[in-house]
Amino acid sequence: MLSADGLATLLRLIVAQASLRVSRASVDSRLVWIKRYDVERMPLAKRLHSLVSPLLPVFLRSSPTTGSAEAIAREMRKLASFRAAGFAVPDVVFSNQSVLVLSDVGEVVQKTLMDSLPTDPARHDDLLIDLARALGEAHRAGLCHGRPHPRDMFLRDGRIGFLDFEEEPEAVMPLPMAQARDAWLLFLQISPRAALPETQARALAAYRAAAPLEIIPALRTLTTFFARAMAPLRLVPNGLIGKDGRRAIDATDFLSRALGKAPPSNSKVSMTGRERPRGQS
């Protein structure tokens, strides 16, 4: 994908920008993104999360801790899986043990949402619904993004594409629960952004119509847990809990109400990640 001169230019940029986690450059007259996996230490909070992860409910567990080479291999593997299932993803331009270079995908959905909200709230909310539908389609294909967010999605030929596959929850929990976690994380973005009153319900309906049925009991379990865990925070004034915290509570409450209060007794996905035999409550 690169000419000899383009490869030489790219290697010079990688050396010159060795301290930057992510940078953009023009190589062979095309824009690329250079992602380094060897310049940031894991934050203390993430290290602690990783240590206690085996003791937590299954959907709170952290993705496996990896070194640079393993993290790059994981992202390339997930890119290939999404591409094979027919979803648009960036092209891999170059990789080694510490650097991954990807093609530019243009404007991410987060920017499109910001631009459309003031002038066309209906188009803005239709795009939110498209995000939910696209995630459901990815889940139906047996895929899991890991950290879906409007900044990790883009539009190409009228369809949603995906990028930034830096999490792999499906490696530490059953796939339906990892996909349920995906859906919850996306609705933490959809719910507070919705400009029109029916958008949350429409987005959930679009997701459910596209996603496999077995995700819904897992999503019900997850949202019911968080709705109960967040109950004391509802008493905290907005000024103390912060806008993001209040939005997380509101989005979780919406999902919990919309999906029902408790998972069915024959749900196969448990809070511990062990499967419950059929017919056993």
CA-based Rg of the chain, rounded to a whole angstrom?
Answer: 20
Which residue has tokens 């967040």? 230
Asked whether the beta carbons of 122 and 196 are under 8 A apart, the reply is yes
225-242: per-residue pLDDT in tens? 988 888 888 777 777 777
Lookup: tokens for 158? 């009228």
pTM summary value:
0.86
Please give the Cα distance from 194 to 200 (Å, whole number).
7
Q: What percent of the chain has pLDDT over 70?
A: 89
Q: What is the DSSP pairing of strand 99-103 with strand 92-95?
A: antiparallel
How does DSSP classify residue 77?
Answer: H
Q: Which CATH number describes the domain made up of 21-103?
A: 3.30.200.20
More confident residue, 267 or 29: 29
Lookup: tokens for 100? 């991954």
- Measured torsion, CA atoms of residues 81, 83, 89, 95, in degrees rounded to the nearest 10: 60
25-55: per-residue pLDDT in tens? 999 999 999 999 988 776 667 777 677 777 7
More confident residue, 153 or 48: 153
53-95: per-residue pLDDT in tens? 777 778 788 888 888 999 999 999 999 999 999 999 999 999 9
- Indicate if the pLDDT at residue 1 is higher than 80: no
Question: In the chain, where does the domain assigned CATH 3.30.200.20 lie?
Answer: 21-103
β partners of residue 34: 23, 101
Asked whether the beta carbons of 95 and 69 are under 8 A apart, the reply is no
Please give the Cα distance from 201 to 14 (Å, whole number).
46
Lookup: tokens for 71? 């993290």
Which residue has tokens 């989005």? 251
Long-range contacts of 8-11 (CB under 8 A, 24+ apart): 10/34, 10/93, 10/94, 10/101
Which residue has tokens 């103390």? 240
More confident residue, 106 or 269: 106
What are the φ and ψ backbone dihedral angles of 108, each rounded to 5 degrees? -80, 160
Please give the Cα distance from 42 to 68 (Å, whole number).
11
* CA atoms lying within 13 Å on the CB side of residue 111: 8
